[in-house]
Amino acid sequence: MPEVARRQPVRFGYEVLRGFAQVDFMPNAACGLFFVAAVFAAGWRYGLAALLGTATAYVLGVDRERIAAGLEGFNGCLVALAFAVFLGPGYVSTWLMAAGGAVVAAVLTAALANLLRPWSMPTFTLPFCLMASVVTVAAPGFQRVWHEGSSLSALPRSASEDSALGAGEVVHAFFADVGQIFLMPQWYVGLLFLLGIFVADWFAGLTACLGSVVGIVTAWGLGAPASDVAEGLLGYNAVLVAMALGAVFLERGVAALLYALVGAAASTVLTVAVTSFFAPFGGHTLTWPYILTTLFFLAAVPSFPRLRRS
C-alpha cells in the first residue's frame, strides 16, 4: 500500500478530532480526543451523532486547509448532536436529519465565511444556530420528525423560583457551564471538556473557568432560578464569550481579559432574554447569546486603543 494511502485514515482522524475541538476554538487533536470521550460519556448515540456531523464536510469537498484546521467540522458536529438531543437519538428520522442538517450547515458555513470576510469576522456557531433553530421550531409540524418524548420545550422558568445556590449546585454549575456548550448538563462531561481545553491551551482553560464563574455569579446576583444555574443553562454562553474575547480573537492581556469578563456577564443576561424570545415558538437558546455578544464586542474593538484583534 502506498505511503500516502496509509496516511489518509490517520489524517482523517486528526481532522475529525480538530473539528470536535474547534467547538471551543481549539484546533488540537488531543483536545478533540477529550471532547469525543466527553460526549460518549454522556451517551454512545450522542457520540456517534457528533462524529457523523463532524465528518460531513468531506462530502462537499470544501477547502482542505479549513478542514485540516477543524473549521468545517464543528458546526456540523453541533447540528447533529442537537438533533440527537432534541429529537431523540432512537429514531431513523433523527439520524437522517442529523446527516442532512450537517451537510446544510457546511453550506451555510461557506456562505457566511464569504459574507463576513470583508469585516474579518468568523462564522462563530452561526450555521449551527440557524439550522438548529429552524428545525427545532419546525419539527412539531412534521409527524415523521416529531416523536413523543422529543425535547423541544424552551419555556423559561419563573424568576420567582428559589435562587439560593448550595455548594454542590455551584460546583455542578461550574462544570455544567462547560458541558452545556455541547448540550450536555452532566458535571463529569463538563470536566472532561475542561481538561481537554487545558491540554490544548492553559490560558484558554483559565478563561473558560473565569467565564463559568462570571456566568454563575451574574445569574445568581440577578436572582435567576437556582435549578437553571446548576444545570449550566445560564452560564455556557459566558464560557464561550470569555474564551472568544479573552483568549482567541483579541491579543491576550489584562485589558482583553477584563473586556472578556464584561462580555461574559452581558451574555448571561442576554441568555435569559433569548430564551424568553424563543419560548413562544418552542425553540432553544443554543449559542445565540454568544454569537451576538461576541459579534458586537469585536465590532467595538477599534474604538478602544488598549484592545487589538489577534
- Match 478542514 to its residue by C-alpha cell: 67
CA angle 63, 65, 70 (to 5 degrees): 100
Phi, psi of 282 (to 5 degrees): 75, 15
Which residues 6+ apart lie within 8 Å of 104 measured at CB?
A: 79, 131
The class of domain 11-152 in CATH terms is: mainly alpha
CATH number of 153-310: 1.10.3430.10
Which residues 6+ apart lie within 8 Å of 207 measured at CB?
A: 242, 243, 246, 247, 257, 260
Is the CA virtual torsion 16, 191, 210, 290 positive or negative? positive
Which residues 6+ apart lie within 8 Å of 219 measured at CB?
A: 228, 229, 234, 235, 268
Q: What is the rounded distance in angstroms from the CA atom of residue 147 to the CA atom of residue 143? A: 7
Q: Would you kindly state where each structural domain of the chain is located, as residue ranges? A: 11-152, 153-310
Tens digit of pLDDT at every position of the chain (310 positions): 444 344 566 777 888 888 888 899 998 999 999 999 999 999 999 999 999 888 876 666 666 666 665 567 889 999 999 999 999 888 899 999 999 998 899 889 889 989 998 888 888 999 999 999 998 888 888 878 877 655 544 444 455 566 777 888 999 999 999 999 999 999 999 999 999 999 999 999 999 999 999 999 999 999 999 989 999 999 999 999 999 999 999 999 999 999 999 999 999 999 999 998 888 777 789 999 999 999 999 999 999 999 999 8
Q: What is the rounded distance in angstroms from the CA atom of residue 44 to the CA atom of residue 50? A: 10
Instruction: Answer whether 0.75 is exceeded by the pTM.
Output: yes
Asked if domains 11-152 and 153-310 share a fold, the reply is yes
163 and 170 in contact (C-beta within 8 Å)? no
Q: What is the rounded distance in angstroms from the CA atom of residue 290 to the CA atom of residue 254? A: 21
* CB-count burial class (<10 Å; 0-12, 13-18, 19+) for 146: middle
Q: What is the pLDDT of residues 87-122, one digit of tens each?
A: 988 889 999 999 999 889 988 988 998 999 888 888
